[in-house]
Amino acid sequence: MRRNNMSATTIQVKQETLAKLKYFKQFEKESYDEIISKLIEVVEEGELREESIKGIGRGLIDVKEGRTKSINDLAKEMNIKL
């Protein structure tokens, strides 16, 4: 959706790229700016997920190497009664 305070520019894209952008339209009046913004968000979220996956991998290594605490030990440290 075009905002009144948004400046616009023209970009050149190949016909096949335009067809791909049209494919991602969720509704008729959706602007290409909105589509490109959504695609950028998906890429950025994917990068975050990749970091999360690496963190999970490190956690699995910790478990395999015995660097863990039982729930009871953790509860004691945090003064939580189970």
10-22 pLDDT tens trace: 999 999 999 999 9
pLDDT, mean of residues 28-48: 89
> Residue 9 and residue 16: Cα distance in Å, rounded?
20
Residue boundaries of the structural domains of the chain: 15-77
Q: Express as a percent the part of the chain with pLDDT over 90.
A: 50
1 close to 30: Cβ distance less than 8 angstroms: yes
Give the pLDDT score at 15: 94
The dihedrals phi and psi of 51, each to the nearest 5 degrees, come to -65, -40
27 close to 12: Cβ distance less than 8 angstroms: no
Using a cut of 0.85, tell me whether the model's pTM lies above it: no
Q: Express as a percent the part of the chain with pLDDT over 70.
A: 94
